[in-house]
Structure 1
Amino acid sequence: WMVLRRTGSSASLGNHDIKLTKRANRIVTDEELYPPLDINVVREDLSKRKSMENVMEESREPRDSIYSGKRFDESCLSPLTLKALSASGIVKMTRVQDATLSECLDGKDALVKAKTGTGKSMAFLLPAIETVVKAMSRSDDGGHRVSPIFALILCPTRELASQIAAEGKALLKYHEGIGVQTLIGGTRFKLDQQRLESDPCQILIATPGRLLDHIENKSNITSRLMALKLFIVDEADLLLDLGFRRDVEKIIDCLPRQRQSLLFSATIPKEVRRVSQLVLKRDHSYIDTIGLGCVETHDKVKQSCMVAPHESHFHLVPHILNEHISNTA
């Protein structure tokens, strides 16, 4: 800030007599940038939203249930897998699992259109586990210290990969010697290699970028993938939206041609169709568990929004996150 201050009358002084003085820059406080938000108002608003969600949940008709009438013990899953399902309190299949399980267990390629939140992770994890069980019963590792990878699952984000891995470990509770591992960003490359070699890994869940890093760095993962029996792509539409098509194509080139492939997606745009031609066999099945004119996200997945002035976002976002964490802890 500059201020012009004259030392005499304007009639007797010229421009050279004008004295320049500096005013100190004024510091703008956070309170001025981000006006204080009444947290009690936010709490009240969140409470109202939760009450409305509960009312809507209670008023839903039975037809909105994601479950079918079929039980898992009616399927041809292995006894140890059924035992793990029972231990987790899982008895009935969801509609997605009912529609896809028999096709997948028969070894057929499939393009599956399924909503998020309908049990689709288990719809491909169960076939992956059964594939590994059969492959291990038939294979002779010849005394090799590191086991082959029989099932590979590609997904777009590390959060999703970690979630699928946790679900897979629960289903493998009674299967001794079978392990599931992840290859995701945010971890050290050398630690990944050590973990993959020291711990059982017949099922690998990976994000495309990190998996390609290991393939291109000549790690032994390429040779381990030569025994692959089942290749799964989850959230294919999101994966392509994030720009992973080239990575997926490079990964496919490193996989054996004689394999079963499953591709799951909430939407089937042209780009997903094109990639499905690379991933799946020509005679693959198309299983639509959504139908035309339906939203891609399931009703059971709670979604909400809050409208707030831009200047309040700085205070509002951390508060909402803390509320969410405390409610899910």
Structure 2
Amino acid sequence: MSLNKIFVFIPLLIFIRTFLVETYASSQVQVVFIKALVYSGILPMLATFIQFSGIGFYLIHNNPSFAEVFHIENYVGQRIVGLTNEASFYVYQLFFSTLGIYYAYRTKMMKRWKLISLAFLFMVTVIISISRTGLLLYILFAGLIAFREFKKNLIRFFLKFSILAPIFIVIIVAISTLNIGGFNLTERFFSTFQVDSDASTLERYGSMEALLNLIYDKCLLMGTGIYNYQYYVKLYLPYYMDQSSYGAGDTPPSFNFVFQLFAEFGVPLAMIFFIGSIIYLRKTQHETLIKDWFVFLLLFSLSFQTLNFAIPFLIILYPLKSLNEDSLRFR
């Protein structure tokens, strides 16, 4: 449960981080953290290739957010999910390993051929997962990297672009024609922006609209309380969703954790939380791992409930540096 992670993970990780920072130099802890982040994506990446090959293996499924009870399933001939329950969950976990690759590449802390090879394999698994969330977030990440290169050195950026652009165009055209699991990749990606493209998008947009309606009606001042949104949200489902499809005690899952926080905290308290987080992050050094971590955590939060995973809390192990002190502790 997500609340257990708050009460268990945060104290435990703060204790471990304090020990590490007091025992080793901050720079050493940072290097080990980023390397571990890179390597952590290898096992789930291999799992996706095994699943895609049709060999498969057994997975435990137990996802309360989707009203799923404990069961063991043999993953043969199904859509790949890595070591998770959903393809979007897999790319969510893999993305932070990809972020580790980016920072390891920038700081030259690992052999570049190894990083490039892993990045390529990671991207292949994102494509064959046909996760719309994953495709969109990886495209945004690629755009961010390109923008930073553009800001850094305009001339060198255009030289690289003129050389690599034809290769990228050929790759993009080739990928756009792929058909995976009965879906054309291009059509699959653009269906993200169509409310009625399939049952998944219908429920995603319906859940987000219901949360917005709940916020407008009840939460402009005071929120419902943590996890209490589920006791109200069914009353605010839009007309295109069938309320009868949810049994007694069942509610649509939250597909937008940001909207969920506004509903549970209330608008004023949620705004204080987000503004305070932005002010705190602005104090960190320019273009640091910590900023990218929370920027993309926020973007993923627009698609599902990110606190179901340990990922948001792991960043506590990464020691921050400032200009005036060796380590800036989390508050």
**Same fold, TM exceeding 0.5?**
no
Q: Which has the higher helix share?
A: 2
TM-score w.r.t. structure 1 length? 0.26
Compare relative contact order (CA 8 Å, sep 6+) and give the higher one, 1 or 2.
Answer: 1
Structure showing greater Rg = 1
TM-score w.r.t. structure 2 length? 0.26
Q: Which has the higher strand share?
A: 1
